[in-house]
Amino acid sequence: MSSNKPSRKPHTFQFRGKQFQASDSLFFIIALLCLLPIISSPVALILGFTLASFGFVPTKLNIAAATKKLLAYSIIGLGFGIHLDQAIAASTQGFGLIVGSIFFTLTFGWFLTKALRLDQKTGHLIASGTAICGGSAIAAVAPAINARDDQTSLALATVFVLNSIALFIFPAIGHLLEMSQHAFGTWAAIAIHDTSSVVGAAGAYGDEALRTATTIKLARALWIVPIAFLSALLFKGDNKKISIPYFILFYCLAIVFAHFVPSLESIYSHIFVASKRLLVVCLFLIGSGITIQKLRASGVKPLLLGVLLWVAIGMGSLSYILLNVA
């Protein structure tokens, strides 16, 4: 006998015009929980990675695009909590360190790539990500040098792994060495790759460290454009495909606006706090994009190159900062 009972359909819900399974709700619930102070930056990253490893990340959600937008919004929001005179002072004081670290990393990366017999474009992408701002720099340089998708993916996976480690070890080292808020913020801005991980580590250390790190990091990120042009010339790529991070301009405008309209100071403080929490959500999303398969695909040589470059710039900048930065 055939049953007249209707077949049970899986529960679904809509988000931004797309259908999601009920099982996907866990992802959105944890993402919302990341807005609360109970979840720190490293924990958010681990939660995202755990969900990705067990297949709980919605396949219909474009994680990379969502992360890029939220990161841009949160960085702009942080601008309202940074004083103009402090931003100018931090950028001016850190200029030599920024320029020196960028060109040292790119040059050392070129020699290491040769020594490791690694693919030149993959090595250059890893060096660019280490020198400037991680995934954003890789995304900007990759089309300029006509890099293949597999070369870009290897570089991104390598940088993401090291960013994840930085969230844990940098604050611990900073406290162990009893670094000042300003010194730690400077070190984080120079030695950590992605902007999200810089502000995550600095935010865990303190608000002053966060302000210093954000300012110097975004001054460092401005070098994306000239480095992408130089990369295009070096590899004879297409310099018309350079991606310019416009959120840096809006971040600067937010600092200027807050300076000339001080009457809204109470609102600015709320925006600053909300932006810090939004950054934690960004780290959760970044973790959601890291899988075991991606880590395996990165292989030994790209990861070794990334580690050697990271240790060199991390130790070199730390020594300079401990000697010269209060």
- The answer to whether position 254 is within a domain reads yes
> Coil, strand, or helix at residue 298?
coil
- The answer to whether position 5 is within a domain reads no
- The answer to whether position 266 is within a domain reads yes
d(CA 251, CA 253): 5
- The answer to whether position 8 is within a domain reads no
**pTM to 2 decimals?**
0.70
Q: Which domain holds residue 151?
A: 13-324
Q: pLDDT per position in the chain (326 positions), as tens?
A: 445 554 444 555 555 555 556 567 888 899 999 999 888 777 887 888 888 888 888 877 788 788 778 877 887 888 888 788 877 776 676 788 888 999 999 999 999 999 999 989 999 999 998 998 887 788 778 877 888 767 877 787 788 788 888 888 999 999 999 999 999 999 999 999 888 789 889 988 998 999 889 888 878 877 877 888 888 888 876 666 666 667 778 888 888 999 999 999 899 999 988 988 887 888 788 778 777 776 676 668 888 999 999 999 999 999 999 988 75
- The answer to whether position 107 is within a domain reads yes
| Proportion of the chain in helix, strand, coil states, percent, rounded to 5 | 75, 0, 20
- The answer to whether position 7 is within a domain reads no
DSSP structure string for 111-151: HHHHHHT--HHHHHHHHHHHHTTHHHHHHHHHHHTT--HHH
Number of domains in the chain: 1
Are 126 and 155 contacting, i.e. CB atoms less than 8 angstroms apart? yes
Which residues have a Cβ under 8 Å from the Cβ of 110 and sit 6 or more positions away? Answer: 123, 124, 127
- The answer to whether position 23 is within a domain reads yes
d(CA 273, CA 201): 16
Structure letter (DSSP) for residue 39? S
- The answer to whether position 21 is within a domain reads yes
